[in-house]
Structure 1
Amino acid sequence: MTILRRTLLAGAAAVTALGMATAAGAQDDKTKVGFVFVGPVGDGGWTYEHNQGRLAVEEEFGDQVETVFVENVAEGPDSERVMTQMALNGADLIFTTSFGYMDPTINVAKKFPDVKFEHATGYKTAENVSTYSARFYEGRAIQGLIAGSMTESNIIGYIGSFPIPEVIRGINSAYIQAKKVNPDVQFKIVWVYTWFDPAKEADAAKVLIEQGADVVLQHTDSTAPQAAAQTAGGVYTFGQASDMYEYAPEPRISSIIDNWAPYYIERTKAVMDGTWESVSRWDGIAEGMVGIGEITSAVPDDVKAAALEMKDKIASGEMHPFTGPLKKQDGSDWLAEGETADDGTLAGMNFYVEGIEGEIPQ
């Protein structure tokens, strides 16, 4: 081999190595964002909307980011394993999107202090752990007004996932507003102890319908209750977390829509530019994190107008869904005339308001 050939080969090797290093460097420059999902991205509800937020991050930042996700992750030890693997694989930011991921998130965050974690609907924070949630109870208040106006049997069914403050808040909020427009209304609640299980959710809806409910609300993630109501006929429902518009104009007559995209974009950008700090965010209709899906033609015009007026008043701060006079289920005083509930009480709510029958499971 001639000296010239050796020189050319060495030069080519150097260029190749430089190219590989540049490519690796470009890959390393990407911000890697992980998402841990409790259900499938095609659930049509909660996880679907979180995944829409993930896709919005990709669209916003393009090749500056890489997103990864794992779906159907059970709350508990398995979620800790998934988070750990994401961190080991180079994630800079990890969103953990269910209440039951709270302690696993804190545990993994301690092991990876340079990784930022964002936990949805929880209350435990750390230097590298933020929390975020939406004021779903604001949307529940609007659903309660519509439900109380639409029921003919005066029985409203409610499918509860787990008896945690977030779900109890929603039941109370809906009941308060339903009772205001219909003093004869009753709530029947079925707990399914799952976020996503179409079979259990459908069975719960059928049980409530058999008990006389002609309006069914849900705090679970699948469209199964909508399908069950459609089959039964004469029953109204509301989309949960996502619009579920495929069941409009009825049985689904409106919905609560979770819009996570702006928050996910904001927090990813904070990691990218080095300004991320631990925060606790709780946004609602005013900030756009809670949306109200189209109120369909099945709802009378006067009821629709009242619901939209409530939405505007909540957004402006003129109205708070929890405004006294209100008593607790046991008859004890809670809020005086004109008094509104503070965030601390709402965040830890573990009681029903007066008029709701049954006990909260322990």
Structure 2
Amino acid sequence: MKKLMGILLAASMVFSLAACGSTASGSSSAAASSNGTAAADNADNADNAYAGLKIGAIVLGDETEGYSAAHINGIKEAAAELGISDDQIVWKYKVPEGGETTDAAEDLVGQGCNLIISNSYGHQTYMVEEAEKYPDVNFVAMTGDFAAISDLDNFYNAFTSVYQSRYVSGVVAGMKVKELVESGTLTPETQPNSFTADGKVKIGYVGAFGYAEVVSGYTAFFLGVQSVYPDVEMEVMYTNSWFDIDKEGAAAEALISNGAVIIGQHADSTGAPAATQKKKDAGTICYSIGYNIDMLATAPTAALTSATNVWSVCYKELFEGAAAGSIPQDWAKGYEDGAVAITDLGPEVAEGTAEKVAEVEAALKDGTLHVFDTSKFTVDGKAVESAPIDLTYYDFSTGSPVAVYAGETKEAVSDGYFHESELRAAPYFTLRIDGIVEDTEPVA
């Protein structure tokens, strides 16, 4: 999901949100497929159930950009499964986070759309204005965060529990780090730059912004690595952009030069995996964990897997709800619903990785594993016993926070873990845990 640059930089320390893909084909890929038969089975019912539905889609990018491609594919897959025809969907591509959102929404209303979706967080404040203006049209800001407190019956948010798939991708990375160390390939003597002074293996992460969505994701990734190989330290570099191939590549190269042997990412391009592959081809020990899409075409030997979202699961529920007149106002779905996954495992993953992934995914699905188990991390050397979350939506555009929509303050920690995406769909984990270092300046 994306962030509204003008109003939420400071608010992101409390609020959040970002980006995802429906191209999963690894151990969780079954949830992203099987649409063909279902579409045929449901086509006969389309006239009755969905004939009156006309969908408008406001998309930040297009099929050439991983995040938007994931949403586009998700919409198309859900529509096909339900028998919704192509002419019932009107597309608005490359709509930036600004007033163009309003123009796009107005045009979609004029074309008779009664369900209008936007896929970027920065569209949200314009979408809610349109929802107020057109109460008979349903507006859904995917990855948004204040629908539940907006007092509007026709405004909705949805997200995925992508932090779960980031944790699983971290397990894949942890398996590789463990293999490198135990095989003697990676040692303080042969690769001193890849170890901290106290003997921890260095890993890196390319982040878009320091928002809760990104913080939640990279923390989940780090905890996944630590679950397999505890002695790691992670450096995070920000690009201050959701999609910038050059900056993402430069950040990956800088992290690798600093000694990182694994490069994770929460950014939307192939820049980081491509840079990692280039370094690997030159003889450096380094591997990539991507986001949104399978990165094997970009980094055929460096890519281990990508964390991704199966957006079709959310869009199917949305379309069914719209047809039935019962759209959930703020919902998130994860492994238990097949809404998140990792992509195919790369050729150089550690032996036993597929089996370990299956074990971890099963535990996430049945609820026996919680990503943010508070016994697994500390903040400033102390255990986390409480994390109050203020769900009020603030406007920071004037420099001073103004409460636009009042929300309750709720406790996120109970039963031994931080309950991410349960108080609202959008991520709100902003704790800076020990073992992760954020660079103070974004990559140039």
Coarse TM-score class (shorter-chain normalised): 0.7 to 0.9
TM-score by length of 1: 0.83
**Per-residue Cα deviation, 1:272-318 (whole angstroms, up to 9, x for no partner):** 3x423342111111101101222233112234322221111111111
Displacement of 1:361 in angstroms is: 8.3
Structure 1 residues 137 and 262: CA distance shift in structure 2, 3 A? closer
Q: Identity over aligned residues, as a percent?
A: 25
CA–CA distance in structure 1, aligned partners of residues 441 and 59 of structure 2: 26
Q: Say whether 1:174 aligns with 2:218.
A: no
Query: Is 2:73 the partner of 1:52?
Result: yes
- 1: CA distance between counterparts of 2:94 and 2:172? 33
Match of 1:283 among 333, 346, 351: 333
Match runs of 1:195-344 below 5 Å = 195-233=242-280, 234-247=285-298, 249-272=300-323, 274-335=324-385, 339-342=416-419, 343-344=422-423
Q: SS state of the match for residue 69, structure 1? A: strand
- The answer on whether the counterparts of 2:270 and 2:295 sit within 8 Å (CA) in structure 1 is yes
Does structure 2 retain, via aligned residues, the 8 Å contact 1:328–1:351? no
Give the Å deviation of 1:111: 0.9
Give the alignment partner of residue 121 of structure 2, picking from 93, 96, 99: 99
Decide whether the 8 Å contact of 1:324 with 1:338 is kept in 2.
no
Q: Does 1:140 align with 2:203?
A: no
Alpha-carbon separation, structure 2, partners of 1:352 and 1:360 = 13
Aligned AA (2:417):
T
Q: Name structure 2 gaps, 5 residues minimum.
A: 1-50, 178-185, 187-193, 195-200, 386-412
SS in 2 for 1:347: coil
Q: Distance in 2 between matches of 1:96 and 1:328?
A: 37
Correspondence for 2:3: none
Would the aligned equivalents of 1:326 and 1:334 in 2 still touch at CA under 8 Å?
no
Shift of 1:246: 1.9
Choose between structure 1 and 2 for higher RCO, CA contacts under 8 A separated by at least 6 residues: 2
Cα distance change, pair 64–79 in 1 and its aligned pair in 2 (3 A):
closer
RMSD: 2.6
The alignment partner of 1:301 has SS state of coil
**1:87 corresponds to which residue?**
109
Q: Which residue of 2 aligns with 1:352?
A: 432
Tell me, yes or no, if the aligned pair for 1:201 and 1:220 is still in contact at 8 Å. yes
Q: Deviations over 1:13-35 (max 9, x none)?
A: xxxxxxxxxxxxxxxx6532111
Q: Deviations over 1:309-354 (max 9, x none)?
A: 1111111111111112155533343149971112339832222112
Q: CA–CA distance in 1 between the matches of 2:78 and 2:331? A: 19
Q: Aligned runs of 1:17-96 on 2, under 5 Å?
A: 31-43=53-65, 45-59=66-80, 60-63=82-85, 66-96=88-118
Query: How many residues are aligned here?
Result: 333
Q: Which amino acid aligns with 2:436?
A: I
Task: Give the 5 Å matches for 1:89-128.
Answer: 89-125=111-147, 126-128=152-154
Contact 1:159–1:190 (CA<8 Å) still a contact in 2? yes
After TM superposition, give the deviation of residue 238 of structure 1 in Å: 2.0
* Cα distance in structure 2, aligned partners of 1:361 and 1:136: 26
Counterpart CA distance in 2 for 1:246 and 1:169 is 27
- Tell me, in whole angstroms, the C-alpha distance in 1 between the residues paired with 2:266 and 2:255: 14
Which one-letter code corresponds to 1:81 in the other structure? D
Structure 1 residues without counterparts, runs of 5 or longer: 1-28
Residues 294 and 224 of structure 1: is their aligned pair in 2 closer, same or farther, counting only changes over 3 Å? same
Change (3 A) 1:357 1:87: same
Larger radius of gyration: 1
* Inter-partner Cα distance in structure 2 for 1:337 and 1:263: 27
User: What is the one-letter code of the residue matched to 1:140?
Assistant: R
SS at match of 2:246: helix
